[in-house]
Amino acid sequence: MSSQEFRHIVRIAGKDVSGTKKTIIGISQIKGMGYNFAKSILDILKINPNSNVGFLTESQVEEIEKAMRNPSSVNIPSWFLNRRKDIDSGNDLHLITSDIDFNVRNDIEREKGMNSWRGFRHTYGLKVRGQRTRTTGRKGGAVGVRKGGKVLPAGAPAEGAAAPAAAGATPAAGAPAEKGAAAPAAAAKGAATPAKDTKPAPAKPAAEKKAK
DSSP state letter for 118:
H
Overall pTM surpassing 0.85 (yes/no) = no
Whole-number pLDDT of residue 201: 62
How high is the pLDDT of residue 27? 94
CATH architecture of the region 3-80? Orthogonal Bundle (1.10)
What is the share, in percent, of the chain residues with pLDDT greater than 90? 51
Over residues 22-31, mean pLDDT? 94
188: β partners: none
Residue ranges per domain, the chain?
Answer: 3-80, 97-129
- pLDDT at position 191 over 80: no
Query: Residue 84 — φ and ψ, nearest 5°?
Result: -95, 145
- pLDDT tens for 111-148 read 999 999 999 999 998 999 999 988 888 876 566 666 66
d(CA 145, CA 138): 14
Q: Cα 184 to chain center, whole Å?
A: 53
Inter-CA distances, 196 with 65, 68, 126, 193, 212, Å: 111, 110, 79, 9, 32
Residue 11: phi and psi, rounded to 5, are -95, 115
- DSSP states along 11-42: EETTEEEETTSBHHHHHHTSTT--HHHHHHHH
